[in-house]
Copies of this chain bind each other. A is one copy, B any other.
Amino acid sequence: MSERSLAIGALAKATDTNVETIRYYERIGLLPEPKRTSANYRAYGQDELVRLSFIRRARELGFTIEQIRALLDLANSRDNDCCTVDALAQAHLAEIESKLSDLRALRRELRDLIGQCQRGKIADCQILAALSPR
């Protein structure tokens, strides 16, 4: 691979991404098809490194692929104002808040369940009883 380009494995290492995942992103059009070497190996440049890093970071923050697609589109229309970006982030934050409260409710129910364990026999298990219909 030439001085200024990365093979898929190197790109993978640099972005802490699975090789298969990179090919997957290409297949779904999230990453552009890169140049190829004479041996048909993918040859990535700095642009792709930057783009993939962005994608991975956004994934870490829990943005979906479609949200990321939108963010990347927005990032390219540099004259627009950034309210749309803010709105996307806000919407995502709202989703997270709602997941958080679901999980908190769930935790409470589970804690209640577990609190009832008296280390007896299955036949008397309060956890199973609590799960069973009344």
Contacts and interface: CB of A to CB of B under 8 A. Distances in A.
A20 interface: no
Contacts of A71: 128, 131
A74 B122 contact: yes
A13 interface: no
B127 A114 contact: no
A10 interface: no
Interface residues of A, number: 50
A22 interface: no
A86 B127 contact: yes
A31 to B, nearest CB: 15
Contact of A82 (B75, B80, B124): B124
